[in-house]
């Protein structure tokens, strides 16, 4: 079995979409970085890597058996065994995971570039291992709070976080389903539609609003988000944290 040593990981917990597991260039100073003293390295199929990266289903038993108690974390002089942790690659993408004792990949992380290159070097003359599994990805349903990748790819970490906030606000709007309120927000988003908005019912207004904002991210998205979450303390704190991170990054540059 192949092993990596002294692996720095930045765990993202409970992420069912790989686009929210940030690559190294998006790691932040306030993120909690952990050191894996030793971790198994598995060369697997593209299908299995996609399954691990983009969902939260049970991992193949054969894979779990292979890595059982083969990994260790280190804090100072203390070395602690990890039940199920590994770095997996399909030859193109690389992902670290830790099940935290369960059978699903609860925590996921990317690697730093130097260690990614080491992974590619280590598997160069190897072939992928075969771990049979029931691929449930075809049953995966995306929705407003877990958006399809095509609506997210290309966005920065800040933009992804703000878009999630916007979707939470829109989800609340949809739940309330107040026609006048929906019309107000569609007018805020797209004033040009105002002449026709008053003839739309709730469903038509909602569809026009969601279809308008679901693609990409822009200053108009940001403006709508800031207005939509106003007065909601928890969401406002998340907003301020993201905007503070942006300012901190700008100052560093």
* Per-domain residue ranges of the chain: 2-139, 149-252
Question: Is residue 250 scored above 50 in pLDDT?
Answer: no
- d(CA 74, CA 36) in angstroms, rounded, equals 6
What pLDDT does residue 226 have?
96
What pLDDT does residue 133 have?
87
- d(CA 58, CA 136) in angstroms, rounded, equals 10
Q: What is the model's pTM? A: 0.89
What pLDDT does residue 181 have?
96
Helix, strand, coil distribution of the chain in percent, nearest 5: 45, 20, 35
């Amino acid at each position: 079995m192949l092993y990596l040593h002294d692996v720095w990981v930045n765990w993202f917990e409970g992420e069912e979409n790989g686009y929210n597991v940030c690559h190294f260039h998006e790691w932040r100073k306030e993120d909690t970085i952990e050191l894996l003293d030793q971790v198994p390295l598995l060369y697997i199929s593209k299908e299995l890597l996609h399954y691990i990266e983009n969902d939260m289903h049970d991992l193949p038993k054969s894979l779990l058996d292979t890595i059982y108690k083969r990994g260790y974390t280190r804090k100072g002089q203390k070395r602690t065994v990890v039940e199920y942790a590994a770095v997996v690659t399909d030859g193109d993408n690389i992902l670290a995971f830790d099940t935290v004792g369960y059978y699903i990949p609860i925590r996921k992380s990317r690697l730093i570039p130097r260690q990614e290159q080491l992974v590619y070097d280590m598997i160069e003359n190897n072939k992928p291992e075969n771990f049979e599994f029931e691929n449930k990805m075809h049953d995966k349903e995306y929705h407003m709070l877990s958006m399809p990748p095509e609506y997210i790819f290309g966005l920065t970490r800040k933009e992804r976080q703000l878009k999630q906030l916007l979707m939470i606000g829109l989800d609340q709007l949809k739940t309330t389903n107040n026609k006048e309120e929906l019309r107000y927000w569609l007018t805020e988003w797209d004033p040009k539609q105002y002449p026709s908005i008053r003839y739309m019912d709730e469903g038509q207004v909602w569809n026009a609003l969601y279809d308008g904002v679901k693609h990409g991210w822009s200053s108009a998205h940001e403006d709508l988000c800031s207005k939509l979450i106003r007065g909601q303390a928890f969401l406002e704190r998340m907003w301020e944290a993201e905007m503070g991170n942006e300012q901190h990054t700008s100052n560093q540059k």
